[in-house]
Structure 1
């Protein structure tokens, strides 16, 4: 501490001498203008720190401990996620079918996994063509599949998009948060990021921005069991569309709007949902529209899943099911695909083995390093604290490899210490 006090006094004397040389006799006022950092432990980097010394006795057991911890965790994660049961059907090409009868779906468009009886669900599909109110082609893809086992709840229905970049810099910020919270934001106060989907026909677009305008509008009906065990026909397995969005979004981010229906218009791509625009009866309540809430929570990767419905109470019995999908969302314009996913889950989420595999890899690497270091320590140990292994010196400007010899003319760190 005496050394620090001397250093501080020396610094102050230097400041005062500089002030006298510059001709300013008021040294105290000039000292306040000094750019030197205060002489404190934090500003001068003298805080206490823990600097562990890595020795074979600490490093080798650490590697074995890591292997013992990560290996069981990895096995548990893989076992848990492997037992997740799932069905997937890429229905992007369903609209191009020619026949009105059911056809087998090519295996390249399907995947499945069941826990005990991993039997092919015998996927089939067909397309039903019609026209909508705008005399445009309206297509419904009907998919049949056979469950070989009962699926216990919870059951989730997702849609999966591929090659859709929701993480684009301009896209991900294209919304107005105040507008989503129900505030009637004026045209001048709308976020500029909403452009070019900001206003139309001199009216505010609600909700504005590219994210809302590109809303996924394919529709999925609940699966219908065609050969129920009870003997009844067409038993519907109900999938709820409530409680599928994030709780924080539902409670805080989205509120019923204070706009008047006459002051706003829907986004351009919503014209079929609101052909006559908004009125007091059809003005959407974003607080209850959970499909839109899920879509507005943008994904970080070009391949992503969005939850569409779930059933957390009823078992999905084995048998043949039929599900109808209203095909409204184009994916060919961006070279993507859209996939129907029905799945169970585990404590670690869906069927993704990546996390468990990473844990196993870390355990194997730790075990290999531990064994290698142990053998090296047993075969050719190194004495800890040997200064002959230090490199460099006050005379030598470079670095040298290997330990210094006793007759080395260059002074060693041993001599300096």
Structure 2
């Protein structure tokens, strides 16, 4: 049925009319660059020099970062016996203790007992590893970037809501006599937590004695990240942490419940439960199959270690709890002296050097092409 209502023409008033300006009428001048060899030469030259300079700076910066790595996949027992790649079936609930001697500064070969007191003082005041000393553990061939693996967790549970287990399949709960008991912490990531522990002793610390290297957890993780992402459940004044976690069960691969995590640690301020520093570090999954994670930082408030790690012999004692035979991986412990560039890694400097060199070669090619064009204009055929 036709519409009998007449349609009035739309009146455009001045209030709806854009102002007659270059901006509102889209009359601004546009830049239309004309690319040529002449304009490309300064761009590639400046970019190449800047990239090459950054690569050189990073290279020498990383050269100043020292590292000492101990590969301990095959455990060396304190009596010198070596256990080849400890199998998961061999471990059970047993802990193997491994011991390794580390020499910092290869030039230091004398026994401290035979040195004068002033020479001992000089060795301590001129350490082999200076600056910020950090201790890492490393794993190889461990794919934490697998989608099914790193999605198997529940961040709400890690904030104290222990009954939140959605997303942790298949490690959400355990069926106990027909009752679904939630796993805390749930998921693949928590179940595979790294649980080797380390102690480092300075063998030349005192005459005929050893000194344990002091470690701290300060600086391992940011305070904001720790408080926002990891919190133990709220408990009453008369409750212990294990009382709060009643009604849950530990992951299948764990020996002890979450409430006992960190209770027997020899390091101060390591935290317990969800707020355990080792647990929090592990829950930050790595992007590559070969990775290292920060374990501890040198406590430089102790006089002997105020300038870093003194030169001499050290003994690394490892409680071997974490088997890697199921995926044919390797484990390592790293002592790192870091400067402004961070841990020693030559990947980024090499990339900068390669790109900078490539751009300079392209610049030389452009200059040759430009000269050829100029010569052809001066001497036309």
Q: Using structure 2 for the length normalisation, give the TM-score.
A: 0.72
Aligned residue number for residue 82 of structure 1: 63
Alpha-carbon distance change, 135 to 204 in structure 1, aligned in 2, over 3 angstroms:
closer
1:360 to 347, 353, 356: 353
C-alpha separation in 1, matches of 2:138 and 2:352? 27
C-alpha separation in 2, matches of 1:325 and 1:154? 23
The question of 1:180 aligning with 2:158 is answered: yes
Q: Which structure is richer in relative contact order (CA contacts within 8 A, separation 6 or more)? A: 2
Q: How many residues align?
A: 309
C-alpha separation in 1, matches of 2:94 and 2:335? 27
Aligned residue number for residue 227 of structure 1: 204
The question of 1:301 aligning with 2:291 is answered: no
Alpha-carbon distance change, 164 to 126 in structure 1, aligned in 2, over 3 angstroms:
closer
In the TM superposition, 1:1-400 aligns within 5 A as 50-94=31-75, 101-102=79-80, 136-148=93-105, 150-185=128-163, 190-191=165-166, 193-200=167-174, 201=176, 202-221=180-199, 223-228=200-205, 230-231=206-207, 233-258=209-234, 260-270=244-254, 272-274=255-257, 285-286=272-273, 288-311=275-298, 313=300, 314=305, 315-381=308-374
Alpha-carbon distance change, 160 to 135 in structure 1, aligned in 2, over 3 angstroms:
closer
SS at match of 1:175: coil
C-alpha separation in 2, matches of 1:296 and 1:350? 21
SS at match of 1:79: helix
SS at match of 1:344: strand
- Residues 23-50 of structure 1 show CA distances to partners (whole Å, capped at 9, x for unaligned) of 778898xxxxxxxxxxxxxxxx999865
TM-superposed deviation, 1:135? 8.1
C-alpha separation in 2, matches of 1:49 and 1:255? 56
Structure 1 contact 254–286 (Cα < 8 Å) conserved: no
Alpha-carbon distance change, 196 to 340 in structure 1, aligned in 2, over 3 angstroms:
same
Moved more, 345-354 or 321-330: 345-354
C-alpha separation in 2, matches of 1:327 and 1:27? 90
Unaligned runs of 5+ in 1: 1-21, 29-44, 104-124, 384-417
Greater Rg by CA:
1
Unaligned runs of 5+ in 2: 8-25, 106-126, 236-243, 264-270, 377-381
TM-superposed deviation, 1:102? 3.3
Structure 2 contact 203–313 (Cα < 8 Å) conserved: yes
TM-superposed deviation, 1:320? 1.0
Q: Using structure 1 for the length normalisation, give the TM-score.
A: 0.66
Structure 2 contact 132–339 (Cα < 8 Å) conserved: no
TM-superposed deviation, 1:330? 0.8
